[in-house]
Amino acid sequence: MSYIDENIDSASPRFVSEICMDLFLMEMVDTIYKTTTQELDEDGDAIFLKLETLGYLVGQRLIERFAKDKPRFIDTLDVVKFICKDLWLILFKKQIDNLKTNHRGVYVLQDNGFRWFMRMSTDVGGADSAKKAMPYVWFPCGIIRGALASLGVPSVVAAETTNLPQCTFQIKVAK
pTM: 0.85
Q: Is the pLDDT of residue 168 over 50?
A: yes
pLDDT, tens digit (0-9, with 9 covering 90-100), for 95-104: 999 999 998 9
From the list 127, 125, 139, 94, the residue with the least C-alpha distance to 112 is 94
Res 146: pLDDT: 98
The more confident residue out of 49 and 8 is: 49
Delineate the domains of the chain, giving CATH numbers in brackets: 18-69+76-173 (3.30.1380.20)
Please write the tens of the pLDDT for every residue from 68-113. Answer: 888 888 899 999 999 999 999 988 889 999 999 998 999 999 999 9
Specify the pLDDT at position 34: 85
Q: What is the pLDDT of residue 163?
A: 84
Q: What are phi and psi of 36, to 5 degrees?
A: -90, 130
Backbone angles phi, psi at 168, to 5 degrees: -120, 130
